[in-house]
């Protein structure tokens, strides 16, 4: 079954802690993306990676970090430097090059206590 998985589904964090959100895909897609969604808002791009061992900052990268050591995996770390981390985090991968279609995982809802 091809798809994108994210874990955990819900995550609670204390202030000052770093947390890592997992994103895995078995679609053989090259490009992967992390978005943040706040209530009533559109999706804002945090980081993206078009190829293994390379990634670029999106529009709101401050307080986040990523790695892309394997094609299938693109984990996101929310650091203590992120001032308002409570949000719905969505990972996506992009299919056929040139078509730009992105497909989303189920998301992780992060709450800072």
Partner 1 sequence: QKEVEQNSGPLSVPEGAIASLNCTYSDRGSQSFFWYRQYSGKSPELIMSIYSNGDKEDGRFTAQLNKASQYVSLLIRDSQPSDSATYLCAVNFYGNNRLAFGKGNQVVVIP
The binding site for partner 1 (CB under 8 A) comprises 31, 33, 40-43, 45, 48, 50, 58, 90, 94, 99-107
The residue ranges of DSSP E strands in the chain, in sequence order, are: 4-7, 10-13, 19-25, 31-37, 43-51, 54-57, 64-66, 76-78, 87-94, 102-104, 108-112
Residue 79 near residue 18 (C-beta atoms within 8 A): yes
State the minimum distance, in angstroms, from the CB of residue 78 to partner 1. Answer: 18
Q: Toward partner 1, which CB reaches closer, 52 or 80?
A: 52
Q: Toward partner 1, which CB reaches closer, 45 or 80?
A: 45
Q: Toward partner 1, which CB reaches closer, 16 or 39?
A: 39
State the minimum distance, in angstroms, from the CB of residue 43 to partner 1. Answer: 4
What torsion do the CA atoms of 88, 8, 80, 82 make, to the nearest 10 degrees? -20
State the minimum distance, in angstroms, from the CB of residue 103 to partner 1. Answer: 6
């Amino acid at each position: 079954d091809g798809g994108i998985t994210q874990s955990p589904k819900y995550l609670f964090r204390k202030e000052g802690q770093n947390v890592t959100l997992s994103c895995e895909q078995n679609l053989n897609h090259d490009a992967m993306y992390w978005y943040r969604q706040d209530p009533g808002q559109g999706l804002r791009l945090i980081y993206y990676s078009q190829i293994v061992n390379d990634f670029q900052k999106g529009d709101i990268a401050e307080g986040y970090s990523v790695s892309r050591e394997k094609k299938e995996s693109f984990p996101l770390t929310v650091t203590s430097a992120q001032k308002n981390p409570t949000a719905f985090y969505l990972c996506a991968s992009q299919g056929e090059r040139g078509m730009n279609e992105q497909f989303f995982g189920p998301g992780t809802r992060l709450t800072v206590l």
